């Protein structure tokens, strides 16, 4: 399992991913889950992957091959991000159709999901979630983040903190805390953590970070976040166990 996150704001994009693919008492493996297919100065294209590792690696390999041999359609000549999402969704379907029957014979799921974020020159930044079937949805100002993988533990902080007007630096900090909250509750998510911050209209990646296991900054934000949560918890008023007889549930009228 893994956890990947994309955030879009009025000033750009944040993409983040862990690197763990398997976990057990005696076995942990890590693989890169955040890929940069950008053509600096003309377009930025970022891709996060979650799910069956052989399928997602096959998709990434196909995308890289089309770029290398300069296929008629590739990530550097498609004219809009919507069509980029269509193209990647098609590659995902091709890989699954080729491998799925054989995987199912051994009870192996071929399901996977992808996050696509980026910007093409003279257009606006966009963020997409591509499903295993190859179809997709996109983020909006009302829903400025998308998640794939082990999503539930890292979602509450995003719901309570993020908006389309959040600064990019704050969005990046929120992304790290979201991943850290997931790592705290689920052993199947873990470092190294890859984080990219993209500034709207820059058409190049200026801010990139990789945090490994034991990284001092990762340890510091976990410590500060836990201390802040405990302080906030202590500020919550105590439960008022005294109530009037008229307040008892059987006396409450419901319209």
Domains of the chain: 3-235 (3.60.20.10)
CB 2 within 8 A of CB 112: no
Residues in Cβ contact with 209 at an 8 Å cutoff, skipping those fewer than 6 apart: 193, 194, 195, 196
At residue 108 the predicted structure's pLDDT band, cuts being 50, 70 and 90, is confident
So what's the pLDDT on residue 244?
Answer: 63
Per-residue model confidence as pLDDT tens digits over 119-175? 999 999 999 999 999 999 999 999 999 999 999 999 999 999 999 999 999 999 999
Average pLDDT over residues 82-93: 97
The pTM (predicted TM-score) of the whole model is 0.91
Longest dimension (CA), the chain: 78
Least Cα distance to 44 among 208, 198, 194, 209 occurs for 198
């Amino acid at each position: 399992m893994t956890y990947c996150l994309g955030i879009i704001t009025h000033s750009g994009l944040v993409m983040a991913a862990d690197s763990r693919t398997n976990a057990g008492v005696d076995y942990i493996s890590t693989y890169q889950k955040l890929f940069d297919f950008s053509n600096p100065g003309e377009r930025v294209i970022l891709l996060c992957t979650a799910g069956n590792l052989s399928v997602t690696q096959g998709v990434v390999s196909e995308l890289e091959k089309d770029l290398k041999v300069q296929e008629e359609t590739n990530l550097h000549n498609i004219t809009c991000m919507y069509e980029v999402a269509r193209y990647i969704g098609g590659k995902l379907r091709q890989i699954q159709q080729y491998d799925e029957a054989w995987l199912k014979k051994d009870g192996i799921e071929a399901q996977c999901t992808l996050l696509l974020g980026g910007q093409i020159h003279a257009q606006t930044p966009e963020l997409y979630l591509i499903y295993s079937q190859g179809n997709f949805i996109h983020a909006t100002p009302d829903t400025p983040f998308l998640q794939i993988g082990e999503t539930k533990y890292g979602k509450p902080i995003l719901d309570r903190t993020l908006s389309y007007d959040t600064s990019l630096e704050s969005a990046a900090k929120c992304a790290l805390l979201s991943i850290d909250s997931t790592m705290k509750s689920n052993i199947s998510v873990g470092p190294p953590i890859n984080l990219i911050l993209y500034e709207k209209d820059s058409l190049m990646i200026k801010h990139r970070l990789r945090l490994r296991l034991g990284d001092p900054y990762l340890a510091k934000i976990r410590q500060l976040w836990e201390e802040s949560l405990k302080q906030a918890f202590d500020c919550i008023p105590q439960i008022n166990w005294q109530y009037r007889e008229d307040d008892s549930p059987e006396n409450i009228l419901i319209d």
